[in-house]
Each structure stands twice: as structure tokens, then as C-alpha cells.
Structure 1
């Protein structure tokens, strides 16, 4: 999986202009000295899809800077950045993966910030289905989807919670692995799993199925951080502004609505 930016830098090319411009035909002040702000591309953890798509629209309306997103598992996105993928911002579901790209020299350490703490839920596509870790071990639950713990922080949290609840050994034979937390939800909604452990942010606005929040004491905190990764000065400035927008009052309001716990808040 790979994503690449396609940017067009606007420039005026004069072809065959007359020696003297007609009287009154003057360029708009600042037009040539202030080229359009380039669009930016954000590599974002899959749990951010709904929240960041809304944030991207709000940021573009406010700033005039277009934002495109590449959503995926944080581990795979971090690997792409280390390999030179041209993203401008990395918003991870795990702060340690942000530290990894910083240590690899692929990000601006001064822009690192924690923007949210995630929460996991047990989701089932049917009303009154299994929504607790204990019920996932029941004989009538045949398949349970979780994100792949090898590269998805939400998968790590799901496995930790199952182990802490004492049901991992009984649930392990039923596990099916999603590529990321969004793909994991798809496995449940498509009927390929009876239940799934996914991000609260992806189900809080759904009107189908049922879900319940997993006790956060059963897994390590899902501290989510972001960092600016571009080395292009023209792109670094709007990238920093987007990063700041996520943590602004407007950004926090959106993140809060999708169920994220914000820095400075108590776990609800």
C-alpha cells in the first residue's frame, strides 16, 4: 500500500506578450510574490478516519489549504515514512511510532505532540450481541476480529485486554486479523466476524449493531501523537498549522465528539 502526492505549483508563463501592456492592465497586488499554499498530505492512523476527515474540511475552510489523508495502520505508515514516503504529517495511534520516525531522522522533533488518547470497544453488528470480553469466549461466538497486533496499536491493546481479562486462550482460536482498525470493523459489518474489538471513534456515530467500551485499565494507554515529517519549507508551514489545528479548541471539539480522551482530561 502506498500513497503519493501529486502537486501542481501554479506559475504564470508569458508567451508572446506585447512590448507594452495596455493602460490599466495591472496584476493584482501580491499575486506573483505569494503563490498558492500547497496542499498537504497527512499519514493518519485508521482510527482517525471519521474525525480527521471532518477536521480536514474545517481546516481547509479556515486556511484555504487542502488536506488529503492516507489512512492505515500506524506501524505500516511509520515504515513507509522511514523508507522515504513523502508525507507532510504523521498522526499515529502510538506515540512510540512517532518517536521511531524522529529517531530515524524523518520528522521534526520540535513539532511532536500528543493529541488524544484512544479507547477500544467490543462491537457486534447485531443488536444485543456479544459486547464484553467475557462473552467473546462463548461457544456461539465463532469469529472475533481484532487489528493485527504486529503493526496496529489498537490490535496490541485488544490483545492486552483479552489477556488481562483472562479470556485470551479461549478467544485466540477464533481470532481473525484486520489490516488495521478500520478493516477490522469491516470484517464485522460484512458478516466475516461475529464481533470485533475496534476503536470507539469508528462506532460512536453508527446506528447499527451494539458496542461497549472496554475498561481502559485492561490495556496500556493508547497515547496518540503526531509530528511534522516534511522537509520542504513550503509545505512545513501549512503542515505545522494543521498540526496546531488538531490541538486547537475547534479541533479538540471534533476529537471529543468522536470519543477521544484529550490531553488534560480525565478518562471518562
Structure 2
């Protein structure tokens, strides 16, 4: 059973749900709301801005955990498009008749071990320093997203299990509601570090706060990220869905460390 600890989060990245509307003409219709996995915090925001600049059309982004969004969609939340961090959630929603089709694989995500500047934890790919801190009794708090509903938390758990640290790290875990909140906890100075998305670690606002090491993709199941239009999607959501697959949007995804489906 995972033991939860209380942590004080700084305003490093957005909290559970963040809406990012851009200015609209007075007569314009309400922009479609896009449910986006928290690891897309920076990439999707940049893509939405480019989409608005090129088309004059606006989408509203809401960031959170993939599992929580899936639950909200089942409960009738008015999202028009869903960008999940784990394609299994899309498959489940499609089987329940809540999506237009099976969607499109748009990226594969990666996880990193990250620590704030000045931390006793020195990130390395093999997690050797993390293991040493646990053995020496020098680890106090370590952040991951909640594995029960956040795909990045589940992959973090799998990586820690692969390294043989999962049971040992239990007393020190701080669980973020999503991977964005986990980055807050990991870099707040109240924890030695945590496991977060590479796409967040690469953002200048986050990178300036600490150091990170990429964890081997062989240590966990792949983070195959799929998007889908929901049954109520309108023309602007449809256009944004297509735009995500454009060269401009794909280049932005690569900048934040995502692996594209045909370039893995």
C-alpha cells in the first residue's frame, strides 16, 4: 500500500486542471475544450498557440491525469477531444461508444529521474544514487504521479520495480495527482527529487530548476500516447486534431522529447 506524504508545491507548473483560452472575437462561438494529459503542459500549449496564429481559431486546453479525464468523459464532461498519455484509456472509451473511432497514436513519452539543484540526489540513468540514498537513510521524500490513475506514475512504479527499489521507497513517496503536479513536488525543495515526464523536464521553466537523467524505456511498458475525437466534436476540434499531425506540431513535440510514432 502506498503511503502518502504531504508536500508543499511551488508554482512551477500548472496545477491539476488549467484552461488556456486565447482572446476571442466578441461574436465567436465558445472554443472547444481539449482534455490533455499533464505531460503535454508545455508542448500542447505551444501547439495551440501556433494553431491559433495560423488559423485564427482557438481551443481551450485542460490539463490533468489521463485516468481522471477518462472518468469525467464517462460522466458526461463536455470535452470534444482527448489527448491521453496511455492509449489503453482511449481503447476503453471507444469500446464504450464514447469516441468517434479508435483515434490516432500521436507520440511516445519518456520518463526521467529529476532532482532540484542542491539536492542530495544526483540523477543517473541506473538510479544508483537513489538506491544509495535509500540505503544510507538520506532520502526523505520522493515524488511520483499516482499510479492508480496517472500513466506516468504507473511507468515510474514499473521502473522502480525493475531496479528493485519499489518496496524500499514506499515510506518516502509523495504522490502527485498528475505528472505536472509531481514535477512541482519533486522540485519544491521539500523532496530530494522524483520521476517525471521528459516533456516537462525539457521545458525551460522546469529545466532551470534542476537536473535530470533519462530512464531506459526497457525498464517500463511504453507510454503510447493516443488522441481521439469524442462524439460531440465540432469543426474546430476536428481541425485541431488534424493540426496535431502537421509538420509544425510534430516538430514541437520532438522539441519536448516525445518520440513520434513513425520515428521510434
Task: Tell whether the 8 Å contact from 2:116 to 2:193 is kept in structure 1 after alignment.
Answer: yes
Match of 1:145 among 143, 146, 157: 143
Task: Tell whether the 8 Å contact from 1:136 to 1:144 is kept in structure 2 after alignment.
Answer: no
Q: Which residue of 2 aligns with 1:85?
A: 77
Q: Secondary structure at the match of 1:250?
A: helix
Tell me the distance in 2 between the aligned counterparts of 1:248 and 1:224.
Answer: 16
Task: Tell whether the 8 Å contact from 1:146 to 1:175 is kept in structure 2 after alignment.
Answer: yes
Normalising by structure 2, we get a TM-score of 0.83
The alpha-carbon distance between structure 1 residues 194 and 216, as it changes in their structure 2 partners (threshold 3 A), is same
Matched, 1:166 2:147: no
Query: How many residues align structurally?
Result: 237
Q: Which residue of 2 aligns with 1:54?
A: 46
Normalising by structure 1, we get a TM-score of 0.82
Match of 2:110 among 119, 131, 137: 119
Q: Which residue of 1 aligns with 2:98?
A: 106
Tell me the distance in 2 between the aligned counterparts of 1:87 and 1:100.
Answer: 16
Q: Secondary structure at the match of 1:192?
A: coil
Give how far 1:151 is off. Answer: 0.3
Tell me the distance in 2 between the aligned counterparts of 1:124 and 1:3.
Answer: 24
Q: Which residue of 1 aligns with 2:218?
A: 217
Deviations 1:110-145 (A, max 9, x none): 6x0000000000000125733132322313222110
More deviation, 65-74/203-212: 203-212
The alpha-carbon distance between structure 1 residues 5 and 208, as it changes in their structure 2 partners (threshold 3 A), is closer
Task: Tell whether the 8 Å contact from 2:19 to 2:61 is kept in structure 1 after alignment.
Answer: no
Give how far 1:208 is off. Answer: 2.4
Tell me the distance in 2 between the aligned counterparts of 1:5 and 1:253.
Answer: 21
The alpha-carbon distance between structure 1 residues 3 and 161, as it changes in their structure 2 partners (threshold 3 A), is closer
Q: Secondary structure at the match of 2:78?
A: coil
Give how far 1:257 is off. Answer: 0.2
Deviations 1:147-196 (A, max 9, x none): 00000000000000000111212212211100000000001222232111
Tell me the distance in 2 between the aligned counterparts of 1:228 and 1:5.
Answer: 19
The alpha-carbon distance between structure 1 residues 198 and 51, as it changes in their structure 2 partners (threshold 3 A), is same
Tell me the distance in 1 between the aligned counterparts of 2:128 and 2:171.
Answer: 15
Q: Secondary structure at the match of 1:141?
A: coil
Question: Who wins on radius of gyration, i.e. which is larger?
Answer: 1
Tell me the distance in 2 between the aligned counterparts of 1:182 and 1:241.
Answer: 27
Tell me the distance in 2 between the aligned counterparts of 1:2 and 1:135.
Answer: 33
Runs of 4 or more, structure 1, over 3 Å off, are 1-6, 8-11
Task: Tell whether the 8 Å contact from 1:125 to 1:195 is kept in structure 2 after alignment.
Answer: yes
Q: Secondary structure at the match of 1:225?
A: strand
Q: Which residue of 2 aligns with 1:24?
A: none
Give how far 1:2 is off. Answer: 7.6
Q: Which residue of 1 aligns with 2:123?
A: 131
Q: Secondary structure at the match of 1:109?
A: coil
Match of 2:196 among 195, 198, 203: 198
Tell me the distance in 2 between the aligned counterparts of 1:252 and 1:216.
Answer: 21
Q: Which residue of 2 aligns with 1:32?
A: none
Tell me the distance in 1 between the aligned counterparts of 2:220 and 2:194.
Answer: 16
Task: Tell whether the 8 Å contact from 1:204 to 1:259 is kept in structure 2 after alignment.
Answer: yes
Structure 2: any 5+ residue segments left out of the alignment?
A: 1-15
